[in-house]
A and B are shown apart, each in its own frame.
Chain A
Amino acid sequence: MKILVTASGNDLNAPLDSRFGRAANFIIYDLDTDAWSVIDNRQNVNAAQGAGIQSAETAVRSGARCLVTGHCGPKAFKVLSTAGVRVFYSKALTVSDALKEYRAGTLAEAASAET
């Protein structure tokens, strides 16, 4: 299963980006094979509007079934939950720490957007 983690850099040691819609990068990690790739999300960092929606569309297209981030706005959350992507919130410092937390099952799943 693929999981998406928001990142400010482009590898597993990168800081976890606390925002979803305006995160610099998305790390797509395959939990079954440990293969991973990076999606550049910078077009949404400075978008005037629709950043959250566009990022959510990117996330859905990536094939990730769940994602880990710090905050997710209401429009992005609506798109993700309609598409069946589960959202988890983490305060981890790095992408790999966030993945460890997910695997340990210690992350809180979002029932709605966190403001």
Chain B
Amino acid sequence: MILAIASGKGGTGKTTVSVNMARMFGADIQLLDCDVEEPNDHLFLKAAAISEEIVHVPVPQVNNTLCDGCGECGRFCRFHAIVPSAGGTLVFSDMCHGCGGCMKVCPRKAIHEVDQRIGAVETGRLDDITLIKGRLDIGRAMAPPLIRAVKDRLRKDIPAILDAPPGTSCPMITTLQGADYTLLVTEPTPFGLHDLKLAVDTVRTLRIPFGVVINRSGIGDDRVRAYCREEKIPVLLEIPDDRRIAENCSEGKLVVDALPEYRPFFQKLIRLVRDGTAC
């Protein structure tokens, strides 16, 4: 089973749900921190380091003595990463998506690929939890290639929880692709509702079954609940607006360790997801 934890609005509690579910899972579980621009699962789960692998993407390099300025590479590239001109062919490697097309279409064989480092995948272990996280190098703008590298390390025989990046653009979509079920974590406020709707549109387009977790229940208003009712979206859990949860999070403590009365909340969530995905 691959369970993705996503949201529309950031800061709703994806990591809180991810790390506490992993802690309460009660069997071998993989936790993938796919928010590679700012991974934070390791702040709550002090996993012993097992490995670190550097991840590269291939980018084109042009031999300008072989290049005759025919322009084929520029016509092929969708991302304006390679720009032929009279003065020589320019490569903008941070625009490059690594498809290798320019290299293939060059009639003079003037382009070859060089590996460019984008970040690292770190694997660690704490009890039953295998924590796999991606860490994008500072200055790199493209998360999806590193997210794919994190997901490549997923073992198919062990259930997995994917802590997704916030929002609904490429990094979130790359994380959710292939998931069996998605939990959308939201807060019951107008801002939360607005961004929840965007996230719902996205998971529906991806055709992934999903349910909602309402965090900080008690603040805001009833419109998120009303929306879920109208849309027939199951609300699997409501976590109360308990200041002690925030205090513990700010100290890197797991809710289920610091406040054991919340253990049944996460156990129930695990059960509901398992039943929902018949795993």
Interface residues, chain A, with chain B CB atoms under 8 Å away:
49-50, 53-54, 56-57, 60, 75, 78-79, 82-84
* Sample of 19 more A-B contacts, CB < 8 Å, known A54-B80, A78-B92: A49-B79, A49-B80, A49-B95, A50-B79, A50-B80, A53-B83, A53-B95, A57-B74, A57-B80, A57-B83, A60-B85, A75-B95, A78-B90, A82-B85, A82-B87, A82-B88, A83-B85, A83-B86, A83-B87
Q: How far is the CA of A84 from the CA of B80 in the complex (A)?
A: 19
User: Considering only CB atoms and an 8 Å cut-off, how many residues of chain B contact the other chain?
Assistant: 11
On chain B, the residues within 8 Å of A57 by CB distance are 74, 80, 83
Residues of A within 8 A of B88 (CB): 82
Q: How far is the CA of A82 from the CA of B88 in the complex (A)?
A: 7
Q: Which residues of A contact B86 (CB under 8 A)?
A: 83-84
Q: Which residues of B contact A79 (CB under 8 A)?
A: 83, 85, 90
Task: Tally A-B pairs: CB < 8 A.
Answer: 33
What are the 6 tightest A-B residue pairs by CB atom distance, in nearest-first order?
Answer: A50-B80, A82-B87, A53-B80, A83-B85, A82-B85, A79-B83
Determine whether the beta carbon of B79 is less than 8 Å from that of A82.
no
Q: How far is the CA of A57 from the CA of B80 in the complex (A)?
A: 10
**Main SS class of interface, B:** loop
- A53 CB contacts on chain B under 8 angstroms: 80, 83, 92, 95
Q: A77 → chain B, closest Cβ, in Å?
A: 11
Q: How far is the CB of B106 from chain A (nearest CB, A)?
A: 18
Tell me the complex Cα distance, A53–B92, Å: 9
Interface centre among A50, A57, A60 (most CB of B within 10 A): A50
- Within the complex, what minimum Cβ distance (angstroms) separates B81 from chain A? 8
The residue on B at minimum CB distance from A84 is: B87
- Determine the residue in chain B with the shortest Cβ distance to A53: B80
Q: Are A75 and B85 in contact (CB under 8 A)?
A: no
Kindly provide the distance from the CB of B96 to the nearest chain A CB, expressed in whole angstroms: 11
B85 proximity list for chain A (CB < 8 A) = 60, 79, 82-83
CA distance A79 to B80 in the complex (A): 11
Please provide the chain B residues from 69 to 103 with a CB less than 8 Å away from any CB of chain A in the complex: 74, 79-80, 83, 85-88, 90, 92, 95
